[in-house]
Amino acid sequence: MNYTRLDELLTLETDCHLAVVGSSALIIIGDRASALAESLQAKRGATCAPQRARMWFGLPIHTAPFPLFVGSVLTERSAVLDQLSLFAWIEDNYLDQPRAEVWGLTPFGEQPVLFLRDFDLDRPVEIWLQTDQPARWVRVSGLAIATAQHSGTPMPLSSDLAALAALAATLPPDAQAFAEVLAREVSSGKSLKAALRAQRRTANPALLHLGDGWRVVTKAIADMAGVLVRLHSLAPDDEALVRTLQLAPPKRW
């Protein structure tokens, strides 16, 4: 657990169009992502580009203006958690195991020794990525799923439904059954966290990684009052999407 490089930490990667204003980013996926990105760039001045985005998962530190990007957790019972499911474990156990050790790196490549009690877990997980040109950190504050299958006004989504929609939009055709199983469980009244936990022993680890990752991303966006929306490529009123680009506070580091 002695991390030296950011690419050793937990990440989620996805092909998307990225709309950036300042230090805030909107991830756009779906079969009409390109058209929506072009509209936001033309009408609103957002910097938009297609890319393979890699997202890091940061926990806000009580005593620092920057997060710790997480690689693994060592529980008080000496179990090592090194998958994205560890965020579900933190949600369930941070009060009972405050001395669980969290391993990772700061945005500056430092590796402090921190316990769960050292983090402000009343605040959302922070999702950060790096832009290519210029290379800099931006915080993800929204997710838009632009698809020709949707008509009418933009549809706000709960975090679980947004995660399922993002999963379905990014999985290859031969893996759609995994998303469909989760969707049935959620429609029956389960949380996505519980549905993923039920699949933990039998599902492909790569699919679980995607499911856990999108759950954390969309929950983080929802917890910071960001925008999770399904829409056609051109919304009649895209003010909600523009506002989400202004939600993330200015970067202090």
Q: What are the residue ranges spanned by the domains of the chain? A: 8-57+124-244
At 129, which helix (H) or strand (E)? strand 126-131
Rg (alpha carbons) of the chain, rounded to whole number: 18
Mean pLDDT of the chain: 92
d(C-alpha 169, C-alpha 147), whole Å: 9
Cβ-based neighbours of 147, under 8 Å, separated by 6 or more: 30, 31, 32, 169, 230, 231, 232
- 48-104 pLDDT, tens digit each: 889 999 999 999 999 999 999 999 999 999 999 999 999 999 999 999 999 999 999
d(C-alpha 10, C-alpha 82), whole Å: 8
Give counts: helices (H), strands (E), the chain. 7, 11
Does the pLDDT value for residue 234 go beyond 70? no
Q: Strand pairing partners for 67?
A: 60
**What SS3 state is found at 169?**
helix
d(C-alpha 76, C-alpha 35), whole Å: 49
Cβ-based neighbours of 250, under 8 Å, separated by 6 or more: 22, 23
Rounded to whole angstroms, what are the CA distances from 150 to 69, 93, 122, 147? 35, 39, 35, 6
Q: What is the pTM of this model?
A: 0.95
Cβ-based neighbours of 242, under 8 Å, separated by 6 or more: 40, 44, 46
